[in-house]
Amino acid sequence: MEQATRDVPVEAAVQSEPSRDSSAADAPSGPRIPISARFLLAIYAIVPICLLAMAIDGLFFTDSFFRALPTSPENNLYFQLAFGTPHIIASSIILAANTEYVRWYWLQIVLFTAFVLAFFGIGSFYFSYEVFFAIVGAATVMHVIKQQVGIGKGLCRISSWTYEAWGWLLVVFGTILYYAVYMGNGLQPQTRAWVHGVLGVLAATAFVLTVMCHFQIEGTLGRLYLWGNAAMVLQSGLFYAADYSFLAILGPRLVHDITAFTFYVTHDMNRHGEEPQSLLYLLPEKLGLGVFWVCPLLAVALTYFFTMYFDQLVGYVTPMLGFEVPYNPSFLVVGYLGLLHYFTEAFTWRQGSPYRPHYGFTA
């Protein structure tokens, strides 16, 4: 959703523009629930909390607690249930549970699915795992950072080459850092030293560009959001250099996921809160339970299902059909949903999309 607030002043965003889709006419007529720009900024409190956690670990736990935690969700069930996968599945739930959205975007989804199958199917004969890892990693980092940078562009009300260069520089910094963190001890000492040097130069340049953007932005809120994004990314570099890989991933992951769920829940409450437009939200509404919890709870439940049972289920079925899946089926499904998430979130929250009438902003 990195384009969600692009060129949309916060003060005016509460009043949504007309959409081409008929779903705008079907939207609930009750009062809208806007997204608070101050709440989006408050999410960045996670950044100094992570820094405080590193300090406490060093003072009281001899630098042993957070360094022992996993850097990858696949290494820990609770980590996987909390970060990454649920918000990816939640995005697919919103898209699939609203038939108007499916009708609107079905061609893009089909073409993208065909591209993914062709690229990874044919590419598996020519590219190594490291190449695919680098590509997916770059897509992941670009999605995470561009979401925050795109929202910030609307909050900062800025449009300049400086801001664009700053945003892309953070993406490059984050991509190199992501690869270094997940490679772990797999990097040669010489390569590790080179990575540290490049990250240092990029961090210094990013700081200079942040200062330049600071003076181009009017208003305290926008400036704080600018520095929040810079601190979120650059602090991860500090954690990596200090061998706190878990914290390097945790900060951006939490900021990104909580921001995304803020949009998802607000969308659902505005679209389905008084008159559900989908069967998925009808039962909770009839029971008077509200719809705000449907998407997050279902996303976590499906994540648990894919993690614990999906591979076993497919393992029972595929022998009856006479074939075997070369990789873990859950990895393939969640991996595809992740790539689909990166692709669709780039345009589904833009102005003019059928999503747009169902969320707005307030300062």
Based on the structure, what is the number of domains in the chain? 1
What's the full length of the chain, in residues? 363
Long-range contacts of 288-294 (CB under 8 A, 24+ apart): 292/265, 292/268, 294/268
Q: Which amino acid is at 25?
A: A
Q: Which amino acid is at 300?
A: V
Q: Which SS3 state, helix, strand or coil, does residue 30 take?
A: coil
Task: Give the pTM.
Answer: 0.84
pLDDT at 72: 64
* Other CB atoms within 10 Å distance of the CB of residue 306: 21
pLDDT at 77: 67
Residue 3 lies in a domain: no
Residue 317 lies in a domain: yes
Residue 155 lies in a domain: yes
Residue 2 lies in a domain: no
Residue 1 lies in a domain: no
Residue 5 lies in a domain: no
d(C-alpha 115, C-alpha 132), whole Å:
15
Residue 4 lies in a domain: no
Burial class of residue 130 in the structure, from the number of CB atoms within 10 Å of its CB (0-12 exposed, 13-18 middle, 19+ buried): exposed
d(C-alpha 158, C-alpha 170), whole Å:
17
Residue 44 lies in a domain: yes
pLDDT at 21: 40
List, for the chain, all residue ranges whose pLDDT scores fall below the cut of 50: 3, 5-31
Quick check: 7 and 157 in contact, CB under 8 A?
Answer: no
* Other CB atoms within 10 Å distance of the CB of residue 91: 26
226: phi then psi, degrees, rounded to nearest 5: -60, -50
The domain in which residue 274 lies consists of 10-362
Give, as one character, the DSSP assignment of residue 362: E
Phi-psi map region of 34: left, alpha, beta (phi>0 left; psi -120 to 50 alpha): beta
Q: Which SS3 state, helix, strand or coil, does residue 15 take?
A: coil
